Amino acid sequence: MDTEELIRKCKAITLKGGEEGKVSFKSEMKSKGEKIVAGCLIGKVLTSRNVNKEGLKIAMQQAWQTIREVKIDAMGENIFIFRFAAETDKRRASAGGPWHFNGALIIFTEPTGIGEVSKQSFTNASFWVQLKNVPIMCMDKGTISELGAAIGRVEEVWTDANGECTGEIIRLRISIDITKPLMTLLSLEQEDGEEDAVPITIQYEKLPDFCYCCGCIGHQYRECTKFKNQAKEELLYGPWIKATTMVDKLKQHRGKERWNITTNEQKAESSSNQIPLGITELQGQNATDRPGQEDGLNPTRKSKEAEMHSMQEGGFSRLLDKNGQTPEDVTSTKKIARQQELEGVKGKEGKLLKDSQKLSAEQEEENGKKKGKMSGKK
Ligand SMILES: [Zn+2]
């Protein structure tokens, strides 16, 4: 029986005259309690399976590389209290992420009110989102923020060292409502309606298990109420919603590097019967196509997640800009748009009306500047 149902049943008894004990929550109690609340986070693992507390503890400490031990207590229904001894550890856990446990998203939240667990909300999680096919005229931080606001609450727009956000991929950190299907497309409409709306695709970095049938996080398609035994390929959503991250690229690079080194070594030693070291890495890479496998904080996997994560947060797009995209990335924008066109997608699409007057004024000003410069040179 879950806690809410238990409360309801107990209240029903007191309503019928059953005895009810009364306790007043005094201010001295409250000040002690505030200290506990300040050092903790509440996390919910979104999975239908029961989560093992010890496994979760090992996985999270590995991922966070905490300075001090993190104490974890189960609160029922895959909700846990994480108590941090160091403020930096707590900051890392709350500001980083999204965090997964065996492919299942963990939603962390600061306790609200006096910390009544049944009153906490686990509806939002922050993701780094990648937008593709963003028109050049929209590559302004303010405009990007407006694009992002159609997806969720924008927390950060990634900019390069010069404070600019131009390039094939535009990155934003957005807090999204995970009770709704993942949005996959923004439609940028122009006020004058002269040109066709511009499709802007949305992909999510470190996306955990989600349903390929309804597009919601927290269950897989076989558990979905909308699943009608279709073939996996016929489902609207797929692993292509997951954005390629710097971590993925590093893995690919390392896999190739190891493969090359091993192959050369093999040639030298003529030991063709041995399995090259790199194969494990490459197989692991292929496994990323399976939902929930790639970023799950599997305790058995001695991952370099934390190290890679910080690299991803720090310099992903900068490196992306320098390195360019993999062939897969180059085609994925078209793939998504094409797939949705073919399927007449009824998924979530954000509609945006471009402030064309403002943009064209800016453009004219910019052109004026350029003309001025050019004429000045002559
Ligand atoms: Zn579903």
Q: Comparing C-alpha atoms, which of 78, 71, 4 is closest to residue 36?
A: 71
Q: What separation in Å is there between the alpha carbon of 335 and the centre of ligand 1?
A: 22
Q: For residue 160, what are the CA distances in angstroms to 168, 172, 317, 356?
A: 13, 12, 8, 26
Predicted pLDDT at 241:
95
d(CA 296, CA 207): 10
Q: What separation in Å is there between the alpha carbon of 175 and the centre of ligand 1?
A: 20
1 vs 226 pLDDT, higher one = 226
Q: For residue 79, what are the CA distances in angstroms to 43, 74, 102, 169?
A: 6, 6, 15, 35
Q: Which of 156-160, 270-274, 294-298, 347-351 has the highest mean pLDDT?
A: 156-160
Confidence of residue 178 (pLDDT cuts 50, 70, 90): very high
| pLDDT higher than threshold 60 for residue 55 | yes
**Which residues are paired to 188 by β-bridges?**
198, 352
57-71, 102-116, 230-244, 342-356: least confident range: 342-356
Q: What separation in Å is there between the alpha carbon of 104 and the centre of ligand 1?
A: 14
Confidence of residue 84 (pLDDT cuts 50, 70, 90): very high
Which residue matches tokens 């919910």?
A: 44
Is 26 contained in some domain?
no
Q: What separation in Å is there between the alpha carbon of 156 and the centre of ligand 1?
A: 29
DSSP letters of 35-69?
Answer: HHHHTEEEEEE--SSPPPHHHHHHHHHHHHT-SSP
Of 87, 103, 119, which residue constitutes the final position of a domain? 119
Of 92, 119, 146, which residue constitutes the final position of a domain? 119
The mean of the pLDDT values for the chain is 76
* 87 and 172 co-located in one domain: no
Question: Using one digit for the tens of pLDDT, what is the confidence trace for 189-215?
Answer: 988 877 889 999 999 999 999 999 999
Q: What separation in Å is there between the alpha carbon of 288 and the centre of ligand 1?
A: 20
* 85 and 192 co-located in one domain: no
Number of domains comprising the chain: 3
The CB-side HSE value for 157 (13 A sphere, CA atoms) comes to 18
Q: Which residues span the domain enclosing 216? A: 124-243+338-359
d(CA 226, CA 218): 14
* 345 and 225 co-located in one domain: yes
d(CA 138, CA 359): 8
Q: What separation in Å is there between the alpha carbon of 223 and the centre of ligand 1?
A: 7
Q: What separation in Å is there between the alpha carbon of 230 and the centre of ligand 1?
A: 13
The torsion angles phi and psi of 41, rounded to 5 degrees, stand at: -130, 150
112-116, 125-129, 312-316: least confident range: 312-316
Predicted pLDDT at 194:
77
Predicted pLDDT at 172:
96
| pLDDT higher than threshold 80 for residue 225 | yes
Rg, Å, the chain Cα set:
25
* 237 and 158 co-located in one domain: yes
| pLDDT higher than threshold 90 for residue 176 | yes
Is 228 contained in some domain?
yes
326 vs 153 pLDDT, higher one = 153
d(CA 322, CA 298): 32
* 138 and 234 co-located in one domain: yes
The torsion angles phi and psi of 350, rounded to 5 degrees, stand at: -90, 130
Is 284 contained in some domain?
yes
| pLDDT higher than threshold 80 for residue 236 | yes
Is 184 contained in some domain?
yes
Predicted pLDDT at 117:
85
Predicted pLDDT at 276:
32
| pLDDT higher than threshold 90 for residue 149 | yes
Q: What separation in Å is there between the alpha carbon of 218 and the centre of ligand 1?
A: 8
* 149 and 238 co-located in one domain: yes
> What is the widest separation between alpha-carbon atoms in the chain?
94
Of 119, 143, 176, which residue constitutes the final position of a domain? 119
**CATH number of the domain enclosing 47:** 3.30.70.330
Q: What separation in Å is there between the alpha carbon of 222 and the centre of ligand 1?
A: 8
The torsion angles phi and psi of 238, rounded to 5 degrees, stand at: -165, 180
CB 132 within 8 A of CB 169: yes
Q: What separation in Å is there between the alpha carbon of 181 and the centre of ligand 1?
A: 9
Q: What separation in Å is there between the alpha carbon of 212 and the centre of ligand 1?
A: 7
47-51, 88-92, 297-301: least confident range: 297-301
Is 345 contained in some domain?
yes
Region 96-118: mean pLDDT is: 89
In the chain, the percentage of residues whose pLDDT exceeds 70 is: 68
Q: What separation in Å is there between the alpha carbon of 210 and the centre of ligand 1?
A: 8
Q: Is the dihedral of CA 235, 184, 98, 130 positive or negative?
A: positive
The torsion angles phi and psi of 169, rounded to 5 degrees, stand at: -115, 130
| pLDDT higher than threshold 50 for residue 298 | no
The torsion angles phi and psi of 243, rounded to 5 degrees, stand at: -80, 145
Predicted pLDDT at 340:
53
Is 94 contained in some domain?
yes
103-112, 128-137, 236-245, 369-378: least confident range: 369-378
* 229 and 279 co-located in one domain: no
* 101 and 74 co-located in one domain: yes
Q: What separation in Å is there between the alpha carbon of 51 and the centre of ligand 1?
A: 20
Predicted pLDDT at 245:
83
Is 17 contained in some domain?
no
Q: Within its chain, how far is the Cα of 317 from the centroid?
A: 16
* 315 and 176 co-located in one domain: no
| pLDDT higher than threshold 80 for residue 63 | yes
* 355 and 228 co-located in one domain: yes
d(CA 67, CA 87): 10
Q: What separation in Å is there between the alpha carbon of 216 and the centre of ligand 1?
A: 6
* 75 and 224 co-located in one domain: no
> Which class for 270: exposed (0-12), middle (13-18), buried (19 or more C-beta within 10 A)?
exposed
| Model confidence, pTM | 0.66
Q: What separation in Å is there between the alpha carbon of 217 and the centre of ligand 1?
A: 8
Q: What separation in Å is there between the alpha carbon of 306 and the centre of ligand 1?
A: 30
DSSP letters of 200-266?
Answer: EEEEETT--SB-TTT--BTS-GGG-TT--S--GGGSS--GGGBPP-HHHHHHHHHHHHHHHHHHHHH
Q: Which residues contact 77 (CB under 8 A, 6 or more apart)?
A: 2, 3, 44
Is 269 contained in some domain?
yes
Per DSSP, the chain holds a count of helices (H) and strands (E) of 10, 11
Q: Comparing C-alpha atoms, which of 176, 183, 323 is closest to residue 246?
A: 323
* 219 and 322 co-located in one domain: no
Predicted pLDDT at 68:
87
Q: What separation in Å is there between the alpha carbon of 226 and the centre of ligand 1?
A: 6
Q: For residue 71, what are the CA distances in angstroms to 44, 80, 88?
A: 15, 10, 15
Predicted pLDDT at 345:
47
